[in-house]
Every structure is written in C-alpha cells, then in structure tokens.
Amino acid sequence: MGGIGQLHQQVTIRTLPDDVLLKIFKFFVDEMCCYDCPEEWRMLVHVCRRWRNLAFTSPHHLNLQVLCKPPWRSVKIMLDIWPELPIYLLGYDHPNREARDDIVAALKLNHRVSGIHLQKTSYLAWETFVPLMQHPFPVLTHLWVEPYRPIQNDISHSFLGGSAPCLQDLLLTGLPFPALPELLLSATKLTRLWYRDIPPSGYISPQAVVTSLSALTRLESLSLTFRSPQSLSDKPIRISPPHIRTLLPALTYLRYQGVSGYMEDLVAQIDAPLLESIVITFFHQEVLEVSQLAKFVRHADKLSLLDRAEVTFQDDRISVTLSQELLVGSVDPKTLELDPICSERDLRVSYLAQFCASCLPTLSPFECLDIQVPFELMWEEFILDPDPQWLEFLRLFNTVKYLRLNRYVASRVAQTLRGLPAERVTEVLPALGNVFLSELEPVGPVMEAISEFADARQLSGHPVSIYYRDGNEGGVH
C-alpha cells in the first residue's frame, strides 16, 4: 500500500501544471531557506529534469541564491557548478589568504551579490574588502558586518555606491559610519536596521536619524546602541518637538542604548503606533529625562495596556520591565524594558525611585509589582535598616494589587512597610491586596515583619493576604 500511495503522489505531482508547481516550490523555498542556509532549494533541482528546468527558468520568483562560504565552499567552484544566480556571501572568523581571495572574487561580482555576512572579520581583511564595496550592489538585500574588533577608519559616502535600493536587512557593529543617513534615504525597502556599538566617530544626530527614517516606511525593527557616553559627549542635544511626527507605520521593535537626552530628542520626532517591544539601556546620569519617552509609549496602542512592572537588580544596572499580565504566570510579549545603568550600589534605590517617578505616572496603571534580586547579587545593603528611598519608590505604585518579592529583597521591603505608623499604613500601596513571598519559610524575621504590616492593614480596614512558598508548598497568612 505504501508503494502505491507513493506512486500515486508521484503521478499527481508530475501531472501538475507549471504554475502550480512553482507555487509549491515558492512555499518550500520560503519555509526552508534562511540567511545562513539559502541553498535548500538544491533538493528541488535534483528530483528530475523538469523540476530543474522549471526552477532555473524562474530564479527571481523563487529567490534562488548561490551560497559562497569560504574556505569551505569556494566561490569559484560554486560559480562553475550553478547557473548565473545571485550570490550570498558568508565570511566567518579570521579568513586566511585563500578565503580572503575567495571573498574578494565574490565582491568583484557586485552586480550579482544579494547578501553579505562578514562576521569576526580581522582589520587586515576588512581593509582588503572595503575598497571593493565602494561600488553599487544593485541586488543586495542583506548586509551584516560584525568585525572582530571595532574599525577605526570612517566608512565613506561612496560605500555601496551611496545607494542601496534593494536592501532589506542591515546590521552594522562597531563601524564608524556618520554618512549612514544618506545611504538610508535610498533604502526604502529596509525592514531591519541595527546599528550597534556606535563609536564616537560614528555619531549621528537625532535629527539626521529621523530624516533618514522618514524614507523607511517598511521598517519593522530598529536598534541604535552607542558604545559609551563618550560616543555622545559634547554633542548638541535638545530640540523642540515638531508639530507633526515622522510616522513609522510598520515598526514593532525598538532597541536603544545611550544617554536619555538623545533618546528624548529621537522619540519626540517619531510615532510608531504598532510598536510592541522596546528595550532601552541608559548610561548613568545624574538626572534622567524620559518625559518624551512616556508620551511616545502612550502613542503605541499595543503598549497602552501594560499593567505589570518587574524590577530586577543586576550587577551594574537596574532592569525595569513593563508588560501585560494575561493569566497567572503568563506574560504578554509586548514589553517595555528600561535598564538605567548605576554602578554605585548604595545609590541604586534612590536612582530607581527618581527614574520611575519621571516616567511611570504618565503610563497606564500597574496592578502587579515584582521585585527581584538574584542570589549572586545578594548585597549587604538589602539586609540593613530600612532605606527611606524604598518608601519613595513604593509610593509610586498606588494602583498595585499584587506585590511579588523574592527572599533577597523581601527583608528590605518588609522592614520598610513594617516601619509605617498605624495612621499612615495605607498611604503606601493603598490598593494592595496580596503579597507573594517566594523561597521563604513561613516563619522568621521577614515573615514577622510582613505579618505586622498585614495586621496593621487589617485594623485599618484594608486587609492584605500574605502568601509564602517553600519548595512546592504554599500558604496564606
């Protein structure tokens, strides 16, 4: 029966008209091929002569590409085997002389190169390749350049001939490319732009970024990360928000690392209504300005219902992740993650309070607050006397109903709440109804402190339930 079934399938497929077969081929290629394996289509052309001829007569429709991966897959050999198809070039690690010559041979065929991925490229190799990339690459759709070490020399205006009309995916790491906005004006098909580890000489003003973004109506993912505060020092930042913002109708993901002033100027000029994920790292500053960021987030419909705030103390920063809690233990992927860097541990709670006070009140009300300190970062200050800054921080969450604490921060928060006078016990976290303590025994100084707070709330007419978890056991006070 199996043989008959297979024969029936073969007969059926062989009798399909060409246009139907092409649709099947297209579905297969789209599903199976990716940036680092764009040659899965080879299986199709080895089935029979008809399939081979059909595929090679419609290479553009199927997006057929020849993968060149020196030194394992020689460019010269690949070009001898296959018809004149677009070339996808993968260059990994430090290329030896033979591999460099192979990459050079591919780059010289600039009219055929559809993808370039140069990873961990040495300075010597980059200096060999970059002169060959000053010409137009008319069919280039993907460009990833991630050198082994940051490049010193600026990328010139003539890079890619100054135009990239087919470019869809651009990732540059550690490259000083101040002329990038000029190239982007021609890259109207771009869907992803990641410019990472931007050195001081690669600085681009917020206004120049916005001007270039105005041409990228298909852009879905944007990442701008500066290497250090020095990448932005002595640069004039602060502009008046325009009356009409630049619309990015397809943008769903935004990543930024730098100073808050630059971010403020950037988001004051753009609008991304479909945005659903933001990850921001701010370098340490005396004062953080995020008022424009809060307005920007409010304009994104998918981020307007964030109701969960998770605060995690890390080695050199504080991570504040805002998300939407759908069910118990289920968090919506639409998130706003803010990571202000603060290496001075004794100032972190104060810095956190200042940061949250400047942005949280203008966002949607939060029902859940989760505070975590990893075991490896259990610092002495978390078990000392209550810090008044904890009180200032908790006051910001007057709509929170659920408070979750792990054992390494519970003692600090418990002592802060325990120290409230009876007449003011509802001034902090007035809507609180449930406290969840993970990794804690149902007895001990922390439970004693939090129980005193619960007793005071009970007397005030605003009861709070305390839940603890010990392994797989749970309980309620």
The answer to whether the pTM exceeds 0.85 is no
Which residues pair with residue 263 across a beta bridge? none
256, with CB counted inside 10 A (0-12, 13-18, 19+), is: buried
Q: How do the pLDDT tens digits run along the chain, 477 residues long? A: 444 344 335 545 566 776 777 676 666 666 655 555 555 556 666 567 766 666 666 656 556 677 777 766 666 777 766 667 788 888 776 667 777 888 888 899 999 899 999 988 888 888 889 999 999 999 999 999 999 888 888 999 999 999 999 999 999 999 999 999 999 999 999 999 999 999 999 999 999 999 999 999 999 999 999 998 876 655 555 566 666 889 999 999 999 999 988 999 999 999 999 998 999 988 887 777 788 888 898 888 888 778 888 988 877 778 888 887 655 444 455 678 888 777 666 667 877 888 788 777 677 788 999 998 876 655 544 444 456 788 888 888 889 999 998 877 888 888 888 888 888 888 899 999 999 988 766 667 878 888 888 899 999 999 999 887 643 334 555
**Which H, E and C letters describe 256-324, residue by residue?**
EEECHHHHHHHHCCEECCCCCEEEEEECCCCCCCCHHHHHHHHCCHHHCCCCEEEEEECCCEEEEEEEC
User: Measured between alpha carbons, how far is 211 from 109 in angstroms, rounded to an integer?
Assistant: 32
Q: Inter-axis angle of helices 291-298 and 260-267, to 10 degrees?
A: 40
Dig out the tokens for 42 from the structure: 């080879």
